[in-house]
Structures are given as structure tokens and as C-alpha cells.
Amino acid sequence: MDAVQALLGAWTTTASEGAPVWRRELSSDQHARHTAIDGPEPSPASIERVIERLSRFADGWSPTGYSRAKSLGAPARTPEDALANALDDIAAAQAKRLSDPLQTVQEEVVEFFRRMHDLMAHYAVIETVSNGAVVARTMVSWTGDFKSLWRTGLTAEEIRLHKRNVRAALARRAMLIRLMSVIGASAAKIALRLMTPGAQLLVLPALWQFVREVLKEARREETPLS
Amino acid sequence: MSTNKKASFESANDEAAKSPSVPPESGVNPAIDELRALVLPSTSLAAMGFETAATPKDLLSGQTLGDALKSFIRQLTDSLGQMADNLSSLEVRTFASNDLHQVRYDFATREFNGPVRLRALTRINLDGDMQVVVPEKDDQLDEMLWAAHVSMVKEAQATRAQFIGSMTEMAMRLIGLFSRP
């Protein structure tokens, strides 16, 4: 489930912790601190791009339009093309036959839903670690009440770092909730137009594949050429 | 009902294979019923025809996906319900400890256990009233800890605004799904 974990960034939702935890180790080096907070996960800008493109696609998609595109045999050049082709296949074939090729992707969607459920169901724990020691730990309730535990003798720099860490963690949680709602709403919109019972369960993996493709595209663009 | 549902599922798929974009003759969109079944907590999976002896478990391998989606939407609707109760005030508490490794948070009681002291508390009510509690004169609050508390109050306020924005957007999307003709 690497794709799911990549999206979640530093959020882990293991049962042993009792709550989702965002833990970041911060180095004393300035550049490393910046990198550690931003992390290797997809940037907020790239997730925002997924949200925009998926919303636009779902608003504009219709089965008739994309059936015509497929009949022309156009190759899938963009994630939108690929998604349109996948939806065209779902519309045209028996649902139970189509579910098999999407099995792996489907498992990822289930995992994403499960992890998001955990993220929304519990207190979130945000922890900032520096030189192997916990600097501060903040528990955030679902509606945003804070309980922060700080080690005595903290410095202004540690306050600043923990504040940035808290902001990054909560911003990602909010963005993931938005992404989740866009995926769900888009699946529902498209399924209504497909008019096929059970279609929403087949559409979701297709949309998840789209999310992955757009993120991959964004990563390519964000990676500087050497 | 479930057996009938299975039958209509297969026949509707057959129909879809012939003409995917043509609405059913009855004018009723079965997909809407299924979506409603996902959203309405009172409707069980059996109502969708997925959980019956007559319906093989692997008829649609998306069954677990349906479970996950239902679970998420239920969580969402529950959370939206709780939101109204919990948004009347915002509370930020700041604690300090000499040894963070000895401190555990009990999620059931929502309290820290271990060598920990509450150093500041701010409660902001919906009507704008703010209550701030700090230690008395002979137990002065460390200046740096106060700065930490203030920084967390600001973050909590920003998070609350962000949270309300996210919930509103999500609610609008859910409402939008079922309000279209």
C-alpha cells in the first residue's frame, strides 16, 4: 500500500498507537529541517491539482462523449483519457467481469478509505523529535481542540519547529479529507450517469488509478532535471 | 428482497452491455437507490443485495470496497453530527514535563498520565468570550512555555477555520449529489 502511505505522508494509523500519529524527526541543520517537515510525500500543490482535475472531469464526463472517443481508437495520452477509457469499458461490459483487472487498485482504495476512517475517528497525535528526543507532542481532537505537552527548557526554535510540524500535519489531514470527498462525490456523479447498478464500486478503483496517474505526472514535473 | 436485487443487478448489467447510456424504461435510476443505501446509515449492506446466502460473496469483488465506503460515509455523517455539539468552544491546554518518555496519554479519559503539569489553558467561546487560565504568582509560567501556548492557540484557531471549511465543502458535495434533477 505504498501509494496510500505516500499520500498520507507522515501519518501512521497503527492500532498499537491508539490514534493516528504524525511524527517527524527534525535535524539541527536548517536545510534538513525544512525537508523533514515537507517530507518526501506528494506536495500539497500536487494533491490540489488532483482535486481540481478530478472535479473537472467528473463535472464534464458523459458516457456518450467518451464512447465516441474510444471508437476513434485514440490512445490514452493523459490520465483523463485513461480514465475515460476505463469508464467506457465499465459502461460497456458486464461489471463482474471488469472487476478482476482492477483488483490491486481496488485493494488500495479500500486501504485508503480505511486509513481515512482512522484519521477521522480518533484524536490525532503530532510529535516533533529532535536529536532523538521528543520536543513536543500535541493531541488534536476531531474538531480542533489542542492539548500540547512540551519538555521543560524548550527553546524558541523548538517552538517554531513544532508549530510548523503541527501546521503541516493538520493541513495534510484537511487536504486528504477534501481529496476523499472529491473521490467519493465524483464516483457517485459518474455512477449516476452510467446507470449501472454496482457501478460506483467499479468507478472508485478507476478514479483511484486516475489519482495515482496525476500524482505521478506532478512528481515528474516537480523533480528538477539534473 | 435481496434475491430480487441480485436478479435485477445482473439483468441491469446485461442491459448496460447492450446500451450503456440509455436510461431504464421505468425512468428509475437504480444507481441512485444504491448511492442512497450507501449514505443512509439505517440501510444495511443486505439492502444492496450483497450480504445474502443467495448472493455469492465474490459476485462483486468490490464488496469490501462497498464496506469501506459505507464505513467512511457513516463516519463522516457521525462526525458532522458531533461537529455541531463540539464547535461551540475551542480549548487549548499546554502541559510541561521533565521527562516526556514517562508521560502517556489515555485516550479513554483524555488525560495525560505521568510526571506532567498543566501550565496554561485557553478557552474561546463561539460568542467571542475568551478564558485564559495560568499559574498563580508563586508558580510562574515560564516565558517560553507561554510563547508555546500562544502559538498553539493560533494554530488551533486556524485549524478550526480550516476544519469548518472542509466540512462545509464536504457537506455541499453530499447535498449536491442528491439535489440534482
Give the C-alpha separation, A126 to A139, whole Å. Answer: 6
Looking only at the bridges linking them, the beta strands covering A146-151 and B89-97 are: parallel
- Give the range among B86-100, B119-133, B138-152, B166-180 with minimum mean pLDDT: B166-180
pLDDT over 70 (residue B34)? no
pLDDT over 80 (residue B1)? no
Domain ranges for chain A: 3-222
What pLDDT band is residue A214 in, cutting at 50, 70 and 90? very high
Size of interface A-B (CB pairs under 8 A): 240
Say if residues A209 and A105 touch (Cβ distance below 8 Å). Answer: yes
Between chains, do B69 and A140 touch, taking CB under 8 Å as contact? no
Quote the pLDDT of residue B85: 64
Model pLDDT for residues A30-75, shown as the tens digit of each residue: 545 555 555 667 888 899 999 999 999 998 888 876 544 444 555 6
Say if residues A185 and A58 touch (Cβ distance below 8 Å). Answer: yes
Give the C-alpha separation, B33 to A201, whole Å. Answer: 14
Q: Mind telling me how many Å the CA of A24 is from chain B's nearest CA?
A: 16
Question: Cα A99 vs. chain centroid, distance in angstroms?
Answer: 23
HSE-CB for A61 with a 13 A CA cutoff: 30
Q: Mind telling me how many Å the CA of A7 is from chain B's nearest CA?
A: 17
What pLDDT band is residue A28 in, cutting at 50, 70 and 90? low
Q: Is A63 helix (H, G, I), strand (E, B) or coil?
A: helix
Between chains, do A117 and B174 touch, taking CB under 8 Å as contact? no
Give the C-alpha separation, A1 to B43, whole Å. Answer: 30
Give the C-alpha separation, B175 to A68, whole Å. Answer: 31
Between chains, do A204 and B62 touch, taking CB under 8 Å as contact? yes
Q: Above pLDDT 90, what percent of chain A?
A: 28
What pLDDT band is residue B139 in, cutting at 50, 70 and 90? low
Average pLDDT, chain A: 80
Give the C-alpha separation, B75 to B6, whole Å. Answer: 27
Question: Cα B73 vs. chain centroid, distance in angstroms?
Answer: 8
Between chains, do B62 and A155 touch, taking CB under 8 Å as contact? no
- Give the range among A49-53, A170-174, A194-198, B27-31 with minimum mean pLDDT: B27-31
A71: cell is: 471508437
Q: Is B180 helix (H, G, I), strand (E, B) or coil?
A: coil
Give the residue from B159, B166, B172 with the most A CB atoms within 10 Å of its CB, the best one to mutate.
Answer: B159
Q: For residue A179, which amino acid is it?
A: L
Quote the pLDDT of residue B23: 38
Between chains, do A134 and B60 touch, taking CB under 8 Å as contact? no
Say if residues B159 and A170 touch (Cβ distance below 8 Å). Answer: yes
Q: Where are the alpha helices (DSSP H) in chain A?
A: 2-8, 30-38, 44-60, 63-71, 79-92, 95-98, 103-121, 156-194, 199-222
Closest C-alpha to A173, from A203, A150, A141, A204? A141
What pLDDT band is residue B122 in, cutting at 50, 70 and 90? very high
Closest residue to A144, CB basis, from B98, B107, B156: B156
Task: State if pTM tops 0.80.
Answer: no
Say if residues A169 and A10 touch (Cβ distance below 8 Å). Answer: yes
A35: cell is: 525537508
Between chains, do B20 and A92 touch, taking CB under 8 Å as contact? yes
What mean pLDDT is predicted for residues B6-20?
A: 35
Sequential DSSP letters for B77-109:
HHHHHHHHHHTTEEEEEEEEES-GGG-EEETTT
Give the C-alpha separation, A97 to A87, whole Å. Answer: 14
Give the C-alpha separation, B44 to A46, whole Å. Answer: 37
Q: What is the DSSP letter of A17?
A: G
Q: What HEC string does A208-223 produce?
A: HHHHHHHHHHHHHHHC
Q: What angle do CA A25, A31, A33 make, to 5 degrees?
A: 20
Contacts of A133 in chain B (CB under 8 A): 100
Give the C-alpha separation, A148 to B151, whole Å. Answer: 11
Q: Is A66 helix (H, G, I), strand (E, B) or coil?
A: helix
**A44 compared with B51, residue with greater pLDDT:** A44
Q: Mind telling me how many Å the CA of B52 is from chain A's nearest CA?
A: 16
Interface of A with B in 95-114 (CB under 8 A): 95-96, 99-100, 103, 106, 109-110, 113-114
Give the C-alpha separation, A171 to A153, whole Å. Answer: 28
E strands of B127-174, at which residues? 130-133
CA distances from B55 to A77, B49, B89, B118 (A): 39, 7, 49, 57
What mean pLDDT is predicted for residues B112-117?
A: 92
Closest residue to B16, CB basis, from A138, A177, A196: A196
